[in-house]
Structure 1
Amino acid sequence: MKNLSLRTRVLTGSAALVAVGAGAFGAVAAASPGDSAPQAAPAAAAAKGEVKNKDTFASDHLTIDAATKAAQAALDAAEAANQRVTVAVVDRNGNTIVTLRGDGAGPQSYESAEKKAFTAVSWNAPTSVLVGRLAQTPNLKDIPGTLFLGGGAPVQLKGAPIAGIGVAGAPSGDLDEQFAQAGVAALGK
């Protein structure tokens, strides 16, 4: 085989590549979607990043329309009381879905509203209730992203938190929380 010409070696190599390519094409074609070919082996599925159903769970989340409806209801309640606030709605994981900053709301209200919403959904309780827990556990306030002031309300489905609404900017946390509760109430309509 040492005496093969360059031309013979190129032709032999090309033929080998064609054979490998045809084999790969055949394997891909045999596994195309919609065919009744058997499913890939579990090891192949794992290599593609697929997991078993028993390794997952489903959770409920507000739609963007529902989050916007709740935020607007909270903002409307604040405006009816002549208060300038910001309203934030976060999902179960604490990610912001929507934030509405009312006309004339203070610059601190944006971040405060998000933190109140995050705190409410994290503990599945109004933030005014959580303020009382600080007396027993003062280091709760050190948890990043939280704000233990009245103005946050959880949104629940079957008792489980699925979102949080936070309001900030009114002269008291009680008012902020009243507006947040108006947002929660709008979802039940």
Structure 2
Amino acid sequence: MHDSVAKIFSVFLSVVFLPLHAGDIVTHKRISPDLALEMVKHAVEACRQDGYQVTALVVASDGAEVALMRDAHASRFTIQIAREKANAVILSGVPSGAFRDNRRDIQQEMNHVKGVLVLQGGLPIAAGGYQLGAIGVSGAPGGDKDEKCARKAIDKIQDRLEFAD
């Protein structure tokens, strides 16, 4: 009986300590809902200071919405536009305006992809070599102004991203 317990323990140890193959386990970093909410607040406040009523939206790296804030007088359509700008960032890995500029050859086609809008105003959220998600802003009179508010929001929290675990 003692031998069978030893054999079972030996099999157990060999299974537990089997070498893992590269790619068998994937680590995924995400932006926290609290930090995402802080980001959208910063973006809305930045645009408000410039006199614009906007919507700001943060998505995770898989495109799932994490936080959303629409200022009191921002059109309800700005929600969809902000989301689709952020999705363009997730698709391309670069700011939505850069994606537009770099791929003018397919811009019209990309604007017909459900959930993606290739307009300026979406920026990647990255830290430590990971793309954590994207922020999209819509409602200011021009994507350059939307992007400015998104940039201010990222700048406000960038130190926290860089020093996060």
The alignment's TM-score, normalised by the length of structure 1, stands at: 0.70
Would the aligned equivalents of 2:40 and 2:68 in 1 still touch at CA under 8 Å?
yes
Q: Which residue of 2 is the match for residue 113 of structure 1?
A: 82
Secondary structure, aligned partner of 1:58: coil
Q: Which residue of 2 is the match for residue 124 of structure 1?
A: 93
Would the aligned equivalents of 1:134 and 1:140 in 2 still touch at CA under 8 Å?
no
The alignment's TM-score, normalised by the length of structure 2, stands at: 0.79
1:180 and 2:131 aligned: no
Would the aligned equivalents of 1:121 and 1:153 in 2 still touch at CA under 8 Å?
no
Pick the structure with greater CA Rg. 1
Deviation per CA, 1:11-32, whole angstroms, max 9, x where unpaired?
A: xxxxxxxxxxxxxxxxxxxxxx
Shift of 1:82: 1.2
Where does the alignment leave 5 or more consecutive residues of structure 2 unmatched? 1-8, 160-165
Q: Which residue of 1 is the match for residue 126 of structure 2?
A: 156
Cα distance between partner residues in 1 of 2:113 and 2:25: 27
Q: Which residue of 2 is the match for residue 64 of structure 1?
A: 33
1:35-184 equivalent positions in 2, closer than 5 A: 39=12, 54=22, 55-138=24-107, 139-184=109-154
Would the aligned equivalents of 1:89 and 1:164 in 2 still touch at CA under 8 Å?
yes
Q: Hey, which bits of structure 1, 4+ residues long, moved more than 3 A?
A: 36-42
Would the aligned equivalents of 1:118 and 1:145 in 2 still touch at CA under 8 Å?
yes
Label 1:166 to 1:149 Cα distance change in 2 as closer, same or farther (>3 A).
same
Secondary structure, aligned partner of 1:93: coil
Relative CO higher for 1 or 2, CA cutoff 8 Å, sep ≥ 6?
Answer: 2
Shift of 1:53: 6.8
Cα distance between partner residues in 2 of 1:78 and 1:133: 26
Cα distance between partner residues in 1 of 2:133 and 2:25: 20
Q: Aligned partner of 2:42: which letter?
A: A
Q: Aligned partner of 1:91: which letter?
A: A
Percent sequence identity over matched residues? 23
Q: Aligned partner of 1:108: which letter?
A: F
Deviation per CA, 1:20-69, whole angstroms, max 9, x where unpaired?
A: xxxxxxxxxxxxxxxx8964996xx9xxxxxx674121021111111111
Cα distance between partner residues in 2 of 1:70 and 1:156: 13
Would the aligned equivalents of 1:124 and 1:160 in 2 still touch at CA under 8 Å?
no
Q: Which residue of 1 is the match for residue 162 of structure 2?
A: none
Q: Which residue of 1 is the match for residue 163 of structure 2?
A: none
Where does the alignment leave 5 or more consecutive residues of structure 1 unmatched? 1-35, 46-51
Label 1:89 to 1:111 Cα distance change in 2 as closer, same or farther (>3 A).
same
